[in-house]
Structure 1
Amino acid sequence: MRLFGGIPVFLTAGGLVSAQFQKPLSNAHDDAKFNVREQSPDLCDAGSRYWTGTVNITEEKSMFFWYFQSRNKPDTDPLLLWMSGGPGATGELGCFIGTGPCAVNPDGNSTRRLEYSWTDHANVIYIDQPIGIGFSEIANRDDVAVSLEEGARDIYSFLSTLSTEVFPEFSGRPWHITGESMGGHYVTGYTKYIMNLEQERAARGLNPRINVSSAVIVDGYIDASYQSSGYYDFFCTNWDPVSDSRTAPLMNETACSEMAAAVPTCELMGAHCRESYNPKLCLSMMDTCERTVGKYFTEETRPGGWDPYDSRHSCEEPPLCSNFAHGETWEFFNQPWVQEKLGFSGLPFELIDFDTNNRWVKAEHLYLPVTRELTWLLDNTDVRILVINGNNDIIMQVVSRTVTLFSEANSYLLVTLLGKCDCWMRSLGKVKHNIEVKDIRTGFSNKAN
């Protein structure tokens, strides 16, 4: 899930969509620190062993997870944590409509194995976070995390318990923290929190609880101003990420002229936002950028118009432009037999928790960048960063992602863009060797080292 475009994620151009959210923690909630159950192929024929369960973060909240072993070599293959975007998109969205081993059939009552999955060569854990979405329960909706710091505390507690008590074999193994869209914020912010805490523990002579090896950002949201100014690059240049054959812009001269004129102001306000990390300044920046540079894209995000997430498709129904929010996957996880196997009963499950999304908006944290956190990781840790971007994503464009990365000081970047092998190196200060930008169309990548 994404969060942009005049229809910033789950918002319509006219305002917030109606709130939909999970019910509070039930009285029957297990007082044990965690519960876990190995699942059978009738729920998902994953091609490997897999488990579901919950980890109690406090007495008032618990985090739900899926753990799929690698189809290849689970004892030695990488260990990944996956977070969907939003805010408010569940792990089930990423698992069953994304990178997981199964997909729900059109009948909404069964699943099928996918030939290709991240679990082909990795052990992957999908979670419902922030707690309060999906099957992750919370006693008081007002306690839902609405900032990266709040969410990071829950993630640290979850991973600590998971690695030492639920699956002790994880202890000491390197983690790869991954996520898409808003996951760009989660991955960067949470990894920074974890690494900072582990460095403090090391300074006190304590062994690390969580060993983060890399951060993987898929079509990730990092900085709102670059996203907005990137609309001009996407729609108004001859750049074609698929065939390099575009001969004319995708919008008319009037629209492109107005967008070009608005870009400098948008970028200037973005610079003030990055410098200050002031929520109100960043909100003002986002409002200005979307009303100017993003105006024409927003107006054309309508039935038959632009699909914000794939320029090759036309929009079915905004703001999401598809029916996955209440399609067969949503239907599947509301089946009584499915919930029973997962340890729930009668929970009104939603793939996308709009109430949580709205709470982030109201808390004014949604449009803060994570550029400071990204730079901190580059300057103070050995965490490797992999950025993957789809060429046809309008909101999270390849060009704006590259600009974002090049703007981070103290790094060397070796970039492969648009499927071409003519890479370039740009030094922005002190040498660093841990950012990789990969074009998923060609699979070609290179890394500065």
Structure 2
Amino acid sequence: MTNSECSQLLFICIITLTPLFLNNINFAFATDPFLQQEQDRIVSALPGQNFNVTFKHYSGYITVNEEVGRTLFYWFIEADHIDPTSKPLLLWFNGGPGCSSIAYGEAEEIGPFHINSDGKTLYLNPYSWNQVANILYIDSPTGVGFSYSNNSSDFLNNGDKRTAEDNLIFLLKWFKRFPQYKKTDFFISGESYAGHYVPQLSQLIVKYNSATKQDSINFKGYMVGNALIDDFRDQLGMFQFMWSSGMISDKTFKLLNVLCDFQSVEHPSKSCEKIWETAYEELGNIDPYSIFTATCHANDNQRVKRKRSAGRIRSVYDPCTEKHSTIYFNQPEVQKILHVDPNHKPEKWQTCSDVVNTNWKDSPRTVLDIYRELIPTGLRIWIFSGNTDAVVPVTSTRYSINALKLPTVSPWRAWYDNGEVGGWTQEYTGLTFVTVRGAGHEVPLHTPKLALTLLKSFLAGTSMPTLEPPTLTAAY
């Protein structure tokens, strides 16, 4: 590439992406982006919605690869505010890899529209995150939820690198479609395997912004929860949490440490697989994603999966929420209201795609290097952890944070919500760590009020709340 070409394509030179990725930066839009917005706007009540909302929401598709027709489905829910553009914009990811952010993030965690046990009616989430932010959900990567490709082999070739690249293309095109949010403070959040998605996309945005000054994204920071960060420390912490919580024997704990040797979570050895089978037998029929809550008995032969994927968990209030989502989003009238293309809808909508999960191509053993790269940039970076999750437990997260060797700004302390301990927190140079008391793998599902308190502090860039001093009353 010549110097002239490099100056014209500085984005590509800096990020060193493939020519195929470059080709998809050629945006094709209607002259009036607000016309496309209106086409995507959901103007009717959702099926089973017997309550009114005052905010607007939109759903549709954005093609991230024109050559093969690789297209991502999104659902955008504006902040419940008279001027939503005055509120931050938050992009949310679930993990898997292969799980739908709409199935989990919107329908049972942070969204306003939650599904009742009949799988056909909705209720309004009183702790929806769109009370304080505009929320954008993407079914990512292709093959997840309602996202599709004209080339079915795309579903067999997903991986971390292409997912991050596609998500960046999606964002750039989405901001073209919704230009009123271009100057809004933009944040990214997610959980579990999104512990890869979120920092990887953040890294690409920072590099993109450094390459283009006129069309930069107003990116302010990211927050991940119960996140896969580092395979070595994730497994070390997992074994210790299970053992210290009394779920596995001393013998199994020792063998897990010896035979698994802190290998890749995604690619364990045969000897490691075998001792994991023993560990699962000792665990019994519990939900390791939320060790103190009930399991769903709708499908009693569904045992805990060896593949520790994000999102395959049940609610503290209703352990069968995944089943309810499957019923709801497979209804033709629901798909019609959400603007699902009947020519590209899945044969059967699923909360998670086993095809995507089992054919994942690249997954680095650690993303700590990305943290080391991004912390000096001044981004707001928070990590939170529900402390009853045994899959990516608080012990794993603490090991990963300790590996960064960051100076402490504010030491370990309890934080409070309405006078009760909501969890614990410590602030480091460039990073804030928050634990959430009583929450499992999906923090906003198990402790929705505490999760909303967490979000408010993160968006404001303030410390987690302290205990209010008692009000003194005069003595008479």
TM-score for both structures, normalised by structure 1? 0.74
Cα distance change on mapping 1:136 and 1:423 into 2, 3 Å: closer
- Give the aligned partner of residue 331 of structure 1: 327
Retained in 1: the 8 A contact 2:72–2:138? yes
Partner of residue 225, structure 1: 232
Q: Using the TM superposition, give the Cα deviation of residue 143 of structure 1 relative to its aligned residue in structure 2, in angstroms.
A: 2.3
Q: Which region of structure 1 is more displaced relative to structure 2, 305-314 or 184-193?
A: 305-314
Q: Deviations over 1:278-334 (max 9, x none)?
A: xxxx47974389548856433345xx5231210113555222465758612111111
Unpaired segments ≥5 residues, structure 1? 1-30, 239-248, 270-281, 426-431
Q: Deviations over 1:135-189 (max 9, x none)?
A: 11211122246222211221111111211x3211111222111111111100011
Choose from 378, 383, 402 the match for 1:382. 378
Q: 1: distance between equivalents of 2:87 and 2:287?
A: 36
Question: Structure 1 residue 404: deviation in Å?
Answer: 0.3
Contact 2:229/2:400 (<8 A) preserved: yes
Q: Distance in 2 between matches of 1:397 and 1:347?
A: 34
- Taking a change above 3 Å as real, the CA distance of residues 253 and 190 of structure 1, as seen in their structure-2 partners, is same
Q: Is the CA contact (8 Å cut-off) linking 2:248 and 2:282 kept in structure 1?
A: no
Equivalent residue, structure 1, for 2:442:
none
Q: Which whole-Å deviations, capped at 9, do the CAs of 1:402-445 have from their partners, x for residues lacking one? A: 110110245656464776898767xxxxxx73211112227688
- Does the aligned pair in 1 maintain the 2:40–2:339 contact within 8 Å? no
User: Using the alignment, how far apart are the partners of 1:58 and 1:285 within structure 2?
Assistant: 29
After TM superposition, list the pairs within 5 Å mapping 1:276-425 onto structure 2. Answer: 282=264, 286-287=268-269, 290-291=272-273, 294=276, 296-300=278-282, 305-313=285-293, 315-316=295-296, 317-318=302-303, 319=305, 320=312, 327-344=323-340, 345=342, 347-348=346-347, 349-360=349-360, 363=361, 365-366=362-363, 368-379=365-376, 381-409=377-405, 412=408, 414=410, 416=412
Q: Which AA in structure 2 matches 1:68?
A: I
Residue 71 of structure 2 is aligned to residue 62 of structure 1: yes
Question: How many residues of Structure 1 are paired with residues of Structure 2 in the alignment?
Answer: 376
TM-score relative to the length of structure 2? 0.70
CA distance in 2, matches of 1:283, 1:256: 16
Task: State the shift of 1:389 in Å.
Answer: 0.9
Query: Is contact 2:78-2:133 (8 Å) kept?
Result: yes
The CA deviation string for residues 116-136 of structure 1, in whole angstroms up to 9 with x for no partner, is: 111121110111000221111
Cα distance change, pair 331–166 in 1 and its aligned pair in 2 (3 A): same
The alpha-carbon distance between structure 1 residues 392 and 284, as it changes in their structure 2 partners (threshold 3 A), is closer
The 3-state SS of whatever aligns with 1:80 is strand
Deviation at 1:359?
Answer: 1.2
What is the SS of the residue equivalent to 1:75? helix
Offset of residue 222 of structure 1: 1.0
**1:14 maps to what in 2?**
none
- What is the CA distance between 1:212 and its match in structure 2? 1.5
Give CA-to-partner distance per residue, 1:47-76, whole Å, 9 cap, x none.
522111211223312221111111245232
Identical amino acids, percent of aligned pairs: 23
In the alignment, does 2:45 pair up with 1:41? yes
User: Does residue 162 of structure 1 match 2:174?
Assistant: yes
| Structure 2 equivalent of residue 235 of structure 1 | 242
CA distance in 2, matches of 1:219, 1:415: 21
The unaligned stretches of length 5 or more in structure 2 are 1-27, 31-35, 297-301, 306-311, 416-420, 438-449, 465-476
Q: Which SS does the other structure have where 1:162 is aligned?
A: helix
**Which runs of structure 2 are paired with 1:175-190 in the superposition (5 Å)?**
175-190=186-201
Q: Is the alpha carbon distance of 1:63 and 1:258 closer, same or farther for their aligned partners in structure 2, counting shifts above 3 Å?
A: closer
Instruction: Classify 1:65/1:371 alpha carbon distance in 2 versus 1 (closer, same or farther; 3 Å).
Output: same
The equivalent position to 1:85 in structure 2, one of 66, 83, 95, is 95
| Closer/same/farther in 2, CA of residues 423 and 337 from structure 1, 3 Å limit | closer
**Aligned-pair Cα RMSD in Å:** 3.2
Q: Is the 8 A contact 2:291 2:390 kept in 1?
A: yes
Q: Can you list the C-alpha shifts for 1:344-396, whole angstroms capped at 9, x where unaligned? A: 33643211111111111xx2x235221111211113x2211111111111011
How many Å separate the matches in 1 of 2:325 and 2:424?
Answer: 41
Task: Please report how far the alpha carbon of residue 211 of structure 1 lies from its aligned counterpart in structure 2 after TM superposition.
Answer: 2.1
